[in-house]
C-alpha cells in the first residue's frame, strides 16, 4: 500500500498534527506589484514593514500541472488531507501581528494542521480543516495565523440558493470597490492561486454553480485590513479576524464599511455586496 493510499484509508482526521515548513525572501518586487494592483497610496521599500495581508503573497505552492486538481488547486493528499470532497474554500481566519515583517527579509513559515472536523448538514457532507501558520524572521515570530478551510460536496442542481444575511447599518467609514477581471487575474497570478472560479467563467458558472467569476476571499480581507489602517492611520493593527459570508462577483461593485467596535481598541468591518448582503465580516484590534 502506498503512503497516499494509507493516508486515505486512515481518514482525513489522521492529518491532525501534520507539519511543513518553507523559507522565502519577502521580495520588494512582489510587494510593489500588489500595491500597484490594489492602487494603494503607500509603497513600502526594503526594510519597511510588510502591509497587513501581504504575507499571502508568499509561501504558496506552485506545482506541476499534472499535480493540479480539476478545480486548479494543487491536489489534496499531501500536506492538506484528502477529504474525498471536490469543492474547497477558504472560509475565514484569525491573524495576530506580533512584530513587523520587513520587506526584503528572509522569512520562515511553519504550518501545522490543528483540527479536522466532519459534519453533515443541509448542504451535505462538510469537512472543516484548521491550519495554523507561524511566520518568523531572524528568530522573531512576526505573524501567527489560523486558517479555516471548508471542503464540501457539489450542491444538487435543484438545491435552493442560500439567502445571505443583510450587512449591518451605521457605518462610520465606507469605500467603494469595483472588481474587474484584470484585478482578479493579477491577484491570482501574484498569489499563485490557480482556482478556476476566479478566471474561468464557464467553469465557475457551469461546474461550481456561481453567478460569475468570484472575487477572492483573501483579496477582500486584504482590502479590509488596508481599510482598517486608513480608518486609524496612527495605530498599529495587532489582530484581524474575518469570515466569508457570501460570494462577491466580478464587475459588481461592493463597499468596504467600518464602525467603532465594542471597545476603544477595536473596529468592526464588513464588505457589503451590491444588493446589501453581508459578504464578509471582520474585526480589527489595534495596540502598541
Domain 1-160, CATH among 3.30.420.40, 3.40.50.1220, 3.10.129.10, 3.30.160.150: 3.10.129.10
161-288 and 1-160 share a CATH fold: yes
In terms of CATH architecture, what is 161-288? Roll (3.10)
Q: How far is the C-alpha of 208 from the C-alpha of 210, rounded, in Å?
A: 6
* pTM for this entry: 0.93
DSSP letters, 219-263, are HHHHHHHHHHHHHSTTS-EEEEEEEE-S--BTT--EEEEEEE-SS
pLDDT at 7: 46
pLDDT at 237: 98
The tens-digit pLDDT sequence of the chain (288 residues) is 444 444 455 578 888 999 999 999 999 999 999 999 999 998 999 999 999 999 999 999 888 998 888 988 888 767 888 888 888 889 999 999 999 999 999 999 999 999 999 988 776 789 999 999 999 999 999 999 999 999 988 876 666 777 899 999 999 999 999 999 999 999 999 999 999 999 999 999 999 989 999 999 999 999 999 999 999 999 999 999 999 999 999 999 999 999 999 999 999 999 999 999 999 999 999 996
Which of 20, 18, 121, 130 lies closest to 10, judged by CA?
Answer: 18
What's the grid cell of residue 57? 503573497
Q: How far is the C-alpha of 122 from the C-alpha of 98, rounded, in Å?
A: 39
Q: What is the maximum alpha-carbon separation in the chain?
A: 59
What's the grid cell of residue 26? 519577502
What's the grid cell of residue 271? 464588505
Q: Which residues pair with 266 in a beta bridge?
A: 285
Own/partner pairs for 192-201, CB < 8 Å, 24+ apart? 192/60, 192/61, 192/62, 193/60, 194/68, 194/72, 194/73, 194/74, 195/71, 195/72, 195/73, 196/71, 196/72, 197/71, 200/72
pLDDT at 288: 66
* Domain edges within the chain: 1-160, 161-288
Distances (CA, A) of 135 to 29, 59, 107, 143, 174: 20, 10, 7, 5, 31
Q: How far is the C-alpha of 196 from the C-alpha of 161, rounded, in Å?
A: 21
What strand order describes the sheet that includes 237-244?
A: 19-25, 106-121, 124-137, 140-152, 87-97, 237-244, 278-286, 266-272, 254-260, 173-177
Q: How far is the C-alpha of 51 from the C-alpha of 190, rounded, in Å?
A: 15
| Backbone torsions φ then ψ of 147, nearest 5 degrees | -110, 140
Amino acid at each position: 500500500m502506498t503512503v497516499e493510499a494509507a493516508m486515505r484509508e486512515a481518514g482525513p482526521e489522521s492529518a491532525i498534527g501534520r507539519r511543513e515548513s518553507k523559507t522565502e525572501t519577502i521580495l520588494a518586487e512582489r510587494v510593489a506589484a500588489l500595491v500597484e494592483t490594489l492602487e494603494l497610496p503607500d509603497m513600502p521599500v526594503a526594510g519597511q514593514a510588510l502591509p497587513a495581508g501581504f504575507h499571502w503573497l508568499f509561501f504558496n505552492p506552485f506545482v506541476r500541472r499534472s499535480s493540479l486538481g480539476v478545480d486548479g488547486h494543487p491536489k489534496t493528499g499531501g500536506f492538506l488531507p484528502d477529504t474525498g470532497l471536490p469543492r474547497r474554500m477558504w472560509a475565514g481566519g484569525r491573524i495576530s501581528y506580533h512584530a513587523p515583517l520587513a520587506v526584503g527579509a528572509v522569512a520562515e513559515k511553519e504550518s501545522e494542521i490543528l483540527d479536522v472536523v466532519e459534519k453533515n448538514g443541509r448542504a451535505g457532507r462538510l469537512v472543516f480543516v484548521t491550519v495554523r501558520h507561524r511566520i518568523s524572521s531572524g528568530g522573531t515570530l512576526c505573524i501567527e495565523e489560523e486558517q479555516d478551510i471548508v471542503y464540501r460536496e457539489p450542491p444538487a442542481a435543484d438545491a435552493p440558493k442560500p439567502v445571505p444575511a443583510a450587512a449591518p447599518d451605521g457605518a462610520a467609514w465606507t469605500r467603494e470597490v469595483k472588481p474587474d477581471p484584470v484585478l482578479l487575474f493579477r491577484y491570482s497570478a501574484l498569489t499563485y492561486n490557480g482556482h478556476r472560479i476566479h478566471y474561468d467563467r464557464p467553469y465557475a458558472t457551469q461546474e461550481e454553480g456561481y453567478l460569475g467569476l468570484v472575487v477572492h476571499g483573501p483579496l477582500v480581507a486584504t482590502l479590509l485590513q488596508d481599510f482598517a489602517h486608513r480608518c486609524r492611520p496612527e495605530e498599529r493593527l495587532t489582530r484581524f479576524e474575518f469570515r466569508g459570508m457570501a460570494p462577491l462577483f466580478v464587475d459588481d461593485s461592493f463597499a468596504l464599511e467600518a464602525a467603532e467596535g465594542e471597545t476603544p481598541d477595536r473596529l468592526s468591518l464588513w464588505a457589503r455586496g451590491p444588493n446589501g448582503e453581508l459578504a464578509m465580516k471582520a474585526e480589527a484590534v489595534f495596540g502598541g
